[in-house]
Structure 1
């Protein structure tokens, strides 16, 4: 950048020098037009470039030494286009003759330059067409400046400078970038070294391939140091209109109370700047800015409050629709910023987003493979405010859309970031988290959220979540734990139901593969365990259901309903495995004040269905069994009661199978009665040995009647069995 500035200075100074040389030639020769070839030869010998003077050279001598030059062109460097490196249509310079001769003071009138064309170019090989002019000139420029400062030439005095219809074009064949300043008009007041003078100008600009263009005007008060090493711009104002930044052209402005440019050391002294663009106002306190080698800067930045939807609308970007229409309306930002070759580092950040304050640090790498680093803290955030609004009409569509949601593998593969975010309070999906901590590490297509922890609903959550998107199919790994989380608000937030109390502890170690959430759910595998403690299932009174089912089976009057309708439990726990989205469990154990449940079953996480076969045993604790008779207690405590739980997870049916309980009792009674009758029958058919001693004629008679009696016994057995079965 320093060399480019020097080239621009040398180009303009060279043109002025040409005019001065021409003036000197006029003093020696009658008609300077006769010596165009000689002037061109000297320039070519000094620069290696051709000089063509097509216009006339004219002169006036007294009291001003004035020279006017017509159309002139300076050729391009070897290896570049045939178009001229620099050209102009006309130039005029006048100097008071007597002060120059008597006091060596340069009192210049108005210096004018019309239709300057300057073409700067970088070739595809990386060379440029100004290096040969700038090389070796550093010491010469310093010598010239020193000579000027130490001689009478330090009394340089120019009435004004006028540049009109100029064009400066920069093209980079390597990157394809092209920047153009066109229709440049510049006017100054009286210029004297070390003294302030007015500067006013305007120009059009165009930047490709970004397709940004516009028209800007500039005004201020400038001071050039006597050694040409420093320029001061006071009351600087730049404003205009820019196209390409937004869907429509937008106003832009820059203001500075004072800019002190140290040309010798390529740096800017501390200053204050105000930038306005796209409805934003940015205040910058520049502490240091240097371009001696790489661009470096140190500044404090403050962005005044603005509306993000309004900014996005200006940029022709559709603003996200939010559940709260007032979300994203108040955004402001302040930070210290340090820029160097490796990164832009923001420290002491303070961002206000609606009712949320975010503080911390952020480092953005500058064109290297280093990760984005951040360490942020937020006081509170209601994330639900920023989610898309939901409606009953599109609830099913939203659910289907969620199932079809694709894991953003391309985004994960492109990210390279590492840092921590801490939120004192956050609300997400109706769940309120406190002391939330989120650690992010993502690179090479692998994302990890760890540490991941929060306090919620009187308990805690901790987890380690990983997504490996480096392969063709993403792999999700979950290792999570819940401790002491209150069930009522959790069920309300997750299932919109509030019919359960108590707390839950849980552990989940799961993996899944798939490109969508639905596919991952179908390929979910791993292990799960949970325990519910000290709560109640409201809306279901299992003891009342057992008593009612027994009464109906016995054809008795059902017991009166009790309030509250609930089933209390002290513990419900289970462990199991997940295979292809189905949780299988064989050790469910539920402890209640009057009942113990054991059993097994499955939960289909894909379909959201549950199917459990349980065995209930009523405990001998009359103090907990309300209103039960001794007969009821006796029957319940002596039997295992089958219980079936099935249906949707959000509202399963729970039904005790009293019929099955009494069916077993009947079967046992039938077996007992049958054994007794069978023995009696056998006794009649084959009496004991002592009863048959001493056969007589009666035995003969008995034998003759045996078939009839035997048939009667069979009928008797059938009748008794029939009566028993009819009981």
Structure 2
């Protein structure tokens, strides 16, 4: 047994020594010129392309059998060799050993070191690679027994540049490391590897079921995978290219951050909120520069919708059309950066809008949802259409269940280099006034049900600028509600009995109403009250005056009346004043009217010009308003004159 193993080992050693000796001897006797010519012929037979060698050619037989070409260009029979569509720094062909011992030259695999690939599409849609594809198609004949094939073609440290002269698109891919499986090119072609694109390292793979059919433009199965930090994309379907490129199959994509993926793709997303986790799966049909997606299931920021989408790219311009339906949608993240009011203040936000971004993708979308959340507001069944073209947004609400009623309207935003313009027309029917007025008008002491219609226009570089230029109108009508914060009936009855008793603590309770009407006109940021009337079971209130939208302040005068008066005994009327900020205005009776209603104090008004009674009147005013009145010098006294002593 031991002797047999020893004899076998000796035999193997002898065979290896003989092979090495034979290879060494072969390296000395082989015709390197014939070897070079055979390799060139096989490359041409396999690809239909001709080698143009601008550098040295190195043939090595031992210890490895290789032919190395330096500075190589590949060309077809149709070009003159000047178009550097494909150039290679070093092309290395490894030869099969056994055929080489029999003095047959067969290429085992090919490596392209530092290849440079240039793809150019002209205005007619023809590529500089079209002659290469035509040559390869004529060369590849399915079913031929003498078909030349390689086990592998490797691309190492390559680059690809792409230029579309019609669309004005230029792209560059670096550090390409690919392995092309080429075992039976008449049936299947596969490539896997990595490359750098726009600063990100991507893993990619492609498998073509019938490579020859694909080269001819006939239908062939195809699988495509791309994976990187920005996004993962997969396609499984068919490809054809008779008159134009066509892909039909299932596409899926997902990204941890759609915002980062869009930026990587060269598209700046709006705002700074939302556009996080993204996933899409659909049936895709790509024809030319248009891709139609059906059976779409898309998820963005935990919002899930289904429907159809179409994406087009023409002349470098992008367009997206979509019809989607969803159960529940939260749009709060996308509106989080729109702050009308300054943080922690009552003033409008004065931060300038960002108007420098490029025009985004044109958008035409229709969305229906059973529930829509906007901050603290929840909408019921909602149908919305949005159109974004040239940076101008037009939003139409066909129907939205909100505030217990129905809302309809349109909202438009356009921009120029220096300002943004808005137009809004909305109608809220039979809504709950408490939540509607609080969310839309900032008024939090109103309840009941009613209708609100607004028509507004504004232009500015900031929310404050919009407030300064606000034009339009608003009409609010309500019924069966109340105004909280004061009880008009209680106040009027007290002042009717004792006009000079002061307002007291009247900022409590509520004033019910049967009917409410508020009609307001806006011009250059000033709201003028055309009609403000509140009719209740016990009191009536009417207001006139103006309010500053930029300053967010009231300057109104009104009259409150007790209901139930008659001709014999008219109801008690009390003029009052509303001044101060919207969220906390000052409401106080008109002091002069109270003095006139007091039998003891009315004569004092007629004696205001009498210096002896001036201070007495001032004391009465201080009692009514609770504020100390400044003493005024007589009209005929010099500026430095001191006021006279108080009258006894």
Same fold (TM over 0.5): yes
Do the aligned residues in 2 keep the contact of 1:434 with 1:456 (CA within 8 Å)?
yes
List per-residue Cα deviations over 1:472-530 (Å, max 9, x = no partner): 75443222222222122234545777533112322222222323222221111222222
TM-superposed CA distance for 1:172, in Å, is: 6.2
Do the aligned residues in 1 keep the contact of 2:546 with 2:555 (CA within 8 Å)?
yes
Alignment of 1:136-535 (within 5 A): 141=138, 145=141, 154-156=144-146, 212-214=173-175, 216=177, 218=179, 222-224=183-185, 230-233=186-189, 238-240=192-194, 242-245=195-198, 250=201, 252-254=203-205, 259-261=209-211, 262-263=213-214, 265-267=216-218, 269-270=220-221, 274-278=225-229, 281-286=232-237, 288-303=238-253, 306=256, 331-368=278-315, 371-384=319-332, 388=336, 395-396=343-344, 402-406=349-353, 408=355, 416-444=362-390, 446-451=392-397, 453-469=399-415, 473-493=419-439, 498-535=444-481
Cα distance, 1:131–1:514 mapped onto 2, change above 3 Å: closer
Cα distance, 1:562–1:503 mapped onto 2, change above 3 Å: same
Cα distance, 1:577–1:70 mapped onto 2, change above 3 Å: closer
Corresponding residue for 1:591? 535
> 1 CA distance for matches of 2:68 and 2:94?
7
Q: With structure 2 as the length reference, what TM-score do the two structures score?
A: 0.67
Do the aligned residues in 2 keep the contact of 1:303 with 1:333 (CA within 8 Å)?
yes
SS in 2 for 1:156: coil
Corresponding residue for 1:602? 546
> 1 CA distance for matches of 2:425 and 2:404?
21
Alignment of 1:75-94 (within 5 A): 80=82
> 2 CA distance for matches of 1:67 and 1:406?
65
> 1 CA distance for matches of 2:443 and 2:319?
43
Cα distance, 1:428–1:636 mapped onto 2, change above 3 Å: farther
Do the aligned residues in 2 keep the contact of 1:279 with 1:306 (CA within 8 Å)?
yes
List per-residue Cα deviations over 1:384-442 (Å, max 9, x = no partner): 35665999x98237x7683434274755x555332322232122232211222222233
List per-residue Cα deviations over 1:176-213 (Å, max 9, x = no partner): 99xxxxxxxxxxxxxxxxxxxxxxxxxxxxxx975643
Cα distance, 1:462–1:409 mapped onto 2, change above 3 Å: farther
List per-residue Cα deviations over 1:267-319 (Å, max 9, x = no partner): 55335555433285544331x21234432211212346856689799999999
Cα distance, 1:49–1:308 mapped onto 2, change above 3 Å: closer
> Higher RCO, 1 or 2 (CA under 8 Å, sep at least 6)?
2
Corresponding residue for 2:578? 645
SS in 2 for 1:223: coil
Do the aligned residues in 2 keep the contact of 1:114 with 1:164 (CA within 8 Å)?
yes
Alignment of 1:104-119 (within 5 A): 109-111=106-108
SS in 1 for 2:446: coil
> 2 CA distance for matches of 1:588 and 1:596?
11
Do the aligned residues in 2 keep the contact of 1:108 with 1:158 (CA within 8 Å)?
no
TM-superposed CA distance for 1:366, in Å, is: 1.5
Q: Which moved more, 1:498-507 or 1:516-525?
A: 498-507
Query: 539, 556, 564: which one pairs with 1:620?
Result: 564
Cα distance, 1:504–1:609 mapped onto 2, change above 3 Å: farther
Higher helix share: 1
TM-superposed CA distance for 1:260, in Å, is: 3.4
Do the aligned residues in 2 keep the contact of 1:404 with 1:517 (CA within 8 Å)?
yes
> 1 CA distance for matches of 2:560 and 2:60?
118
Corresponding residue for 2:521? 577
| Gapped regions of structure 2 (runs ≥ 5) | 1-28, 605-648
> 2 CA distance for matches of 1:353 and 1:529?
38
SS in 1 for 2:583: coil
TM-superposed CA distance for 1:640, in Å, is: 2.6
SS in 2 for 1:402: coil
TM-superposed CA distance for 1:570, in Å, is: 0.9
> 1 CA distance for matches of 2:395 and 2:492?
48
Task: Give 1 or 2 for the bigger CA radius of gyration.
Answer: 1
Cα distance, 1:222–1:554 mapped onto 2, change above 3 Å: same
Cα distance, 1:73–1:534 mapped onto 2, change above 3 Å: closer
| Gapped regions of structure 1 (runs ≥ 5) | 1-25, 60-65, 101-105, 178-207, 225-229, 622-632, 672-727
SS in 2 for 1:607: coil
TM-superposed CA distance for 1:613, in Å, is: 1.6
> 2 CA distance for matches of 1:122 and 1:316?
20
> 2 CA distance for matches of 1:133 and 1:310?
37
TM-superposed CA distance for 1:575, in Å, is: 2.2
Cα distance, 1:553–1:506 mapped onto 2, change above 3 Å: same
Cα distance, 1:670–1:420 mapped onto 2, change above 3 Å: same
Cα distance, 1:515–1:505 mapped onto 2, change above 3 Å: same
CA RMSD in angstroms comes to 5.6
